[in-house]
Amino acid sequence: MRLGRRALCVLVLLLVCASLGLLYVRTRDAPGLPAPLALWAPLQGPPRPELPDLVPEPRYAHIPVRIKEQVVELLSGNNCSCESSVGSLHLPFQRQVQAIDFTKAFDPKELKAASASREQEFQAFLSRSQSAADQLLVAPANSPLQYPLQGVEVQPLRSILVPGLSLQAASGQEVYQVNLTASLGTWDVAGEVTGVTLTGEGQPDLTLASSGLDLLNRQLQLVTYSSTSYQANTADTGVRHG
């Protein structure tokens, strides 16, 4: 009798599972119901995208650079993209992260016009929300260090290449040196130039020194700034010495 009850319980459990599975298969593609969403999957691509900002100026093209992959990954991490995976196994009652491709809501003939209209609205929003203080302004090399005065924006806890850094010093010096200091972030380099001494990588204070002016200027093109404080609408005033 005990064995019979156990077999009966197993049979009932199997029937319930089979019924739920059949119900799921019948209703997932039923007319009038929204199509199941595809599982989210990270964008598949090369491990390190080519960053145009890392391309040297023609006058520095002959200077070799050893790329620091861990820093370049932080730079490429500023952008994200979501794509739906193909061929995923959909199990009933499985908790899934899903994504919707909104471009499929438009007819192919209307998609181009809709994209152009959204881009126009976005540019109009930028013109209303941005001011002259948001434009990149680089101070001339009178100090003799050239550096950005304003317009450099970095998202909280993200990293960027610092534009406009250059040292226009008189030739013939034994050592050329630049000191950078930040209060809300840290400095690093996306690549190392042979012949340039770096002190303080990943720290608020970074010193770059070299006996070659071209070598130092190529290294300055690879300086990165990382925000370490999650404070929106906050400006970090850096101290520079050249």
Per-residue pLDDT of the chain (242 residues; tens, 9 = 90+): 455 777 778 788 888 888 877 776 665 555 554 444 444 444 444 444 445 467 888 889 899 999 998 888 888 665 555 555 555 555 555 555 566 777 777 888 888 888 889 899 988 887 887 776 667 777 776 778 888 888 788 888 889 999 989 998 877 889 999 999 998 899 999 999 999 999 999 999 999 999 999 999 999 999 999 998 877 667 676 656 66
First to last CA, the chain: 93
Give CA torsion, residues 222, 154, 119, 86, to 10 deg.
80
- Nearest by Cα to 93 from 14, 11, 13, 23: 23
Sheet holding 239-241, edge to edge: 196-199, 205-210, 176-181, 239-241
pTM for this predicted structure: 0.61
* Residues 37, 99 contacting (CB under 8 angstroms): yes
What pairing do the DSSP bridges indicate for beta strands 98-99 and 159-161? unpaired
The CA distance from 162 to 182, in Å, is 13
CA 121 from centre of chain: 24
